[in-house]
Chain A
């Protein structure tokens, strides 16, 4: 049981870290660009909210599998498939939780406003400097929200892992899958215990989220 919880936390932590890094340029572009097709990219990012996770998982199973052109470079290195591996789960989780990282960051970057950035550049800051020293600190609340949502969403992830995991202990067996297995095998007592743990965790996450949101709302720039 401990191993399963540890693996779940590890998956969520790695996914969250990767997503915060990857989503930053994407969200920045979505917030700042004038490209007409940017909303098409935004919609693409949002797809995991709409697609049933098992469908997403099924596409991933194919995309990470031996017949996928995406896998050709890795196959040259001797990796036949990324399904059934922890790395595969990380890739799946990153895609699955992408909108939960990008959207809060995009909102945060929008809230920074052009004025602050203009002032920075008037004072001689380069684009990179104004991002690093003005936009990023002002967007800290967005990062908190993105991190919390991504972490929680990854912990609660089920369909994607079910499809590409293969239930390998210590590699791909996470809490949500274990609860499902326990219910299926009629071990309802253990399922209840684990589900209760998850419920308490979820409650604490949402509580933290709402309290942070209130605090940030009070100290928002311009107030």
Chain B
């Protein structure tokens, strides 16, 4: 029995060590960036031999976890506020914070031809529920409220607004038809062929910048540094754009 355990422990050790030079980094990824992050991580592994292990969740939860010693080396937040706070709290390697993607807001409905090319449907009153992300926690929610205010519709539409805890949930409300309309992320609907949509002009709201930071825990991690560099590179940018984000 003892020998069996020993053999298993050795086998586990062999698996975890892997090739000597390739390092591994743990990356906390905002849920809305799940798909592009997976694709980028796969390309990153192919290009550098390093491995990026991704965890997906909400930026707020990740911040709370990182502040309490979570073993992540890189944090891809869905906003600017939390990376800034992490920096202020001394949790990051200074000078490594940058915007990796800028989100766009879109008015979306599952029903074809329901949303027109100028978003006039918002004034029609021909719907009962408009789904948005919780402005208290999600930048897309803030952008949605700002847009409605800019259009002078916030007061009128306030009773019809339903809030998802995250932008993912706001999208679920529209996708299941529970809400006829939703102000959601372009990245969520870019792969959808059906439905109807209006890309909200960026001038209607504060830009939805998503920032990345290298955390203190990753200061000496070759894979973490390489991942940060790769994320700024041309290949990563192509992927990010394809998913409906803007990148400078």
Contacts of A81 in B (CB 8 A): 128-129, 177-178
> Which residues does B use to contact A, with CB under 8 Å?
58, 60-61, 63-64, 82, 85, 128-129, 131, 134, 136-137, 162-165, 169, 172-173, 176-179
Q: Which are the 8 A-B pairs with shortest beta-carbon distances?
A: A166-B162, A184-B60, A167-B163, A184-B137, A83-B178, A65-B178, A185-B136, A84-B162
Given A167-B134, A183-B64, the answer on whether A66 and B165 have CB atoms closer than 8 Å is no
Tell me the chain A residues, 54-69 only, with Cβ under 8 Å from chain B.
58, 61-62, 64-67
Given A81-B129, A183-B60, A186-B60, the answer on whether A162 and B165 have CB atoms closer than 8 Å is yes
Contacts of A188 in B (CB 8 A): 64
Contacts of B162 in A (CB 8 A): 83-84, 166-168
Shortest beta-carbon distance from B51 to chain A in Å: 29
Number of A-B contacts (CB under 8 A): 69
- Which of A80, A164, A184 has the largest number of chain B CB atoms within 10 A? A184
Shortest beta-carbon distance from B79 to chain A in Å: 11
- Chain A, 183-211, contact with B by CB distance < 8 Å: what is the 0/1 string? 11110100000000000000000000000
A66 vs B128: C-alpha distance when bound (angstroms): 11
Pair A80/B137 contact, Cβ less than 8 Å: no
Contacts of B176 in A (CB 8 A): 61-62, 65, 67
Interface size class of A (residues with CB under 8 A): 20 to 34
Q: Can you pick out 26 interface pairs between chain A and chain B where the beta carbons lie within 8 Å of each other? A: A61-B173, A62-B176, A67-B177, A81-B128, A81-B129, A84-B129, A84-B162, A163-B169, A163-B172, A166-B131, A166-B162, A166-B163, A167-B162, A167-B165, A168-B162, A177-B165, A181-B134, A181-B136, A181-B165, A183-B61, A183-B64, A184-B58, A184-B61, A184-B136, A184-B165, A185-B137
A180 interface neighbour in B165, B172, B179, Cβ under 8 Å: B165
Contacts of A166 in B (CB 8 A): 129, 131, 162-164, 173, 179
Shortest beta-carbon distance from B182 to chain A in Å: 11
Contacts of A61 in B (CB 8 A): 172-173, 176, 178
Name 20 extra pairs, CB < 8 A, besides A167-B162, A184-B58, A184-B60: A61-B178, A64-B178, A65-B176, A67-B176, A67-B177, A80-B128, A81-B178, A83-B178, A84-B162, A166-B162, A177-B165, A181-B134, A181-B165, A184-B134, A184-B136, A184-B137, A185-B137, A186-B82, A186-B85, A188-B64
Q: Using CB atoms, name the residue of chain A closest to B59.
A: A184
A177 vs B63: C-alpha distance when bound (angstroms): 18
Q: Using CB atoms, name the residue of chain A closest to B58.
A: A184
A64 vs B85: C-alpha distance when bound (angstroms): 40
